[in-house]
Amino acid sequence: MHDSPLNNVNPHYLNRVVELSATRHIEASEDVYNAVGMKLIAKGARISAEMQERLLRHKLKKPLESSLAVEDGVHSALLLDLAERVINSDVKVQPILLIGNHAVEARAILGSLPLSGPVSMLLTLLQKGGENELLHAVEGAMVGLVLGLQAGVPRANLPALAAGALLHDIGELYINPEYLRSGASLKPHEWRHVASHPLVGRMLVDELGQFPPLAGQIVLEHHERLDGSGYPRRIAGDQLSLEGLIVGVADTICAVFRHYGKPLARAEIAMRIVPGQFPLRVTQIVNLALRNAKPATLEGADLPSAESMAESMHQLLRRLAQVLIRLDEAEDDDRVQQFKPALLLAQRAAERVRLIQLAFSSTGLDSLPHGEHLQWLQQVDRDLLFEVIVAIEEIAWRLRELGRDLQLRSEDLPEDVRSVFVPLIDALHSAHG
């Protein structure tokens, strides 16, 4: 028996399969057995809602994912068509795709990926998950490949880069969809599930065996950061692959593309607001694309009012001050001082807060006298107002990220020591508003 955590059928994945089976013919590509050798589904049998409970009751001999095939699933020709659409129609990414004239080659690499039945099945589930989800995956793969080609990734590694970029979020198929809703406010245990998707994705890519091991490593690393501030393993520097970091950049860029106005400029701000998270040679490529791009406008963009922005700035300043107070209290607490793991945790948090504070100071927003923010915002042009909006959002997001990370890390501490961090964690969460 090939034992894998995937041998336990994930209910969220299975639910997505059953939902898809209502509109697509999905069948077992081979006999499906439970762990003790009992046949649950015969080869060729159509998957239906009636099988759902039976599959959930059993641990399988091998992962269900490797034994399913979907009729008219995602195929290479569709990936090529979507890549062409990204090249010709996606004005947001065109400045990056024009760097080095790599777009045509990137499309060819993406289209050459082997799409076995199980891989096609996963991509079809992604396509079913919502409008444009597969397009977003292709967009990310194209951006990642162009960045990789320009950054000098060895050509032998490009197919793995393409596969890892295309499948980087495939682990989200195994997470409660409610946790993935945009704007969802997650409890710590819910965030723990979301933060596990790179681990699940890596296991899945490795299990399918269609791509080089580097592809699974990329999936695992796409939320890791060069300075160690990422997840799920919080590793840094030379422990990370260039390809994984590149997909992290591509993922960040494509995420901010979905927001209002000047998407490439927004991506550039997001990457430099807290420096050291991404390789300089990759961020320089994005900066070059920005310089070469036709200046974007904010015409028609629904930007917040000056009054709303002034209030956001005041709140962030107050809450950042509160974070600093709670951080000092945690560092000075005897229980933390006397327990090395807790002290290291507090010191690590202090370093990250210091970087976030420096990022905020670099905007110049904290240099304005109290009460003058509104007057200043009323006088600036829309382009500068846009930068202020992005800076505030990114800094607030970094504080929330730190709060989540600190909460997860502190769970390993003794209860009396862990309690010291609670006020700091609360302050970090409230700093997001």
pLDDT tens digit sequence for 369-415: 656 667 777 776 666 777 777 778 778 888 888 888 888 888 889 99
pLDDT band (50, 70, 90) for residue 360:
confident
CA distance 414 to 340: 12
pLDDT, average across residues 7-31: 93
In this predicted structure, what is the pLDDT of residue 409? 84
pLDDT band (50, 70, 90) for residue 418:
very high
Domains (range + CATH), the chain: 5-70 (no CATH), 76-292 (1.10.3210.10), 306-430 (no CATH)
| 287, 150 Cβ separation under 8 angstroms | no
Angle at 253 between CA 252 and CA 255, to 5 degrees: 65
pTM of the predicted protein model: 0.86
CA distance 85 to 334: 60
| 432, 400 Cβ separation under 8 angstroms | yes
Residue 340 neighbours by CB distance under 10 Å: 9
* Residue 183 in this model has a pLDDT that exceeds 90: no
pLDDT, average across residues 343-358: 88
CA distance 41 to 54: 10
* Residue 260 in this model has a pLDDT that exceeds 60: no
427: tokens are 């302050």
CA distance 81 to 56: 37
Query: What would the DSSP string read from start to end of 249-312?
Result: HHHHHHHHTTSSS-HHHHHHHHHHSSTTSS-HHHHHHHHHHHHHSPPP--TT--PPPHHHHHHH
Angle at 345 between CA 344 and CA 351, to 5 degrees: 90
Residue whose pair of structure tokens reads 């840094």 in the numeric block: 236
* Residue 32 in this model has a pLDDT that exceeds 90: yes
Q: What is the pLDDT of residues 191-222, one digit of tens each?
A: 888 889 999 999 999 998 999 999 999 999 99
Q: What is the pLDDT of residues 33-49, one digit of tens each?
A: 999 999 999 999 999 88
Count CA atoms within 13 Å of residue 303 on its CB side: 23
pLDDT band (50, 70, 90) for residue 309:
confident
DSSP code for 38? -
CA distance 141 to 132: 14
244: tokens are 């994984």
Q: What is the mean pLDDT of the chain?
A: 86
pLDDT, average across residues 71-75: 92
- Give backbone dihedrals phi and psi of 208, rounded to 5 degrees, phi first: -70, -30
Containing 121, the helix (H) or strand (E) segment is: helix 117-128
Residue whose pair of structure tokens reads 């049998």 in the numeric block: 45
| 274, 226 Cβ separation under 8 angstroms | no
* Residue 163 in this model has a pLDDT that exceeds 50: yes
Which of helix, strand or coil describes residue 149? Answer: helix
Least reliable range by pLDDT among 53-62, 186-195, 221-230: 186-195
Q: What is the pLDDT of residues 262-300, one digit of tens each?
A: 566 666 677 777 778 899 899 888 888 877 765 554 444
Per the DSSP assignment, residues forming a β-bridge with 70 are 26
CA distance 274 to 360: 9
